[in-house]
Structure 1
């Protein structure tokens, strides 16, 4: 068993459904903080939410799973996330 930190990974993508006007961005930021995820979240004009997450692999995977459900009032219909290069983002913000 190693004490070395897990490699960082990064996901970027879009969440569709009833994801605006239901506290999705605020809940995403709170979940990211709880998991130690860096990145950002924002609403798009077409009704989707765009998200960028960076962190240790297990934390990012936990974030992916959370995004598939979202907060209680949301109704997530589709999640399209792709891995991308780590950008070295620090902190998590709502754009």
Structure 2
């Protein structure tokens, strides 16, 4: 008996680690990234680092994660992003549910 499938193309999910440098603390960068990630359906987390940078882990469909990376290069209105390092992550170390702010490390 033939199987019918309305979606024959699987969604490819990727995970990327981001390190954002510049004037990215004290300008609502983390809160804005949570909003941007939720709008795109990306899961993961974002946190400040004691060195003044912001770190994030983003998991989701390729296009959604890339859109969030593109957003990260600009950030919110008062941010000044000097650079975004993006690294591939083979698999997230823990299951993701939503996109959240984490404590500073």
TM-score in terms of structure 1 length: 0.93
Paired residues in the alignment total 94
Matches within 5 A, 1:1-95: 3=7, 4-87=9-92, 88-95=95-102
Deviation >4 Å, runs of 4+: none
1:46 alignment partner, SS class:
coil
Please identify, of 85-94 and 19-28, the stretch whose mean Cα deviation from structure 2 is larger.
Answer: 85-94
- 5+ unaligned residues in a row in structure 2: which ranges? 1-5
Higher Cα radius of gyration: 2
* Distance of 1:41 and 1:13 partners within structure 2: 9
2:3 corresponds in structure 1 to none
1:6 alignment partner, SS class:
coil
1:61 alignment partner, SS class:
helix
TM-score in terms of structure 2 length: 0.85
* Distance of 1:41 and 1:84 partners within structure 2: 15
* Distance of 1:6 and 1:74 partners within structure 2: 33
- 5+ unaligned residues in a row in structure 1: which ranges? none
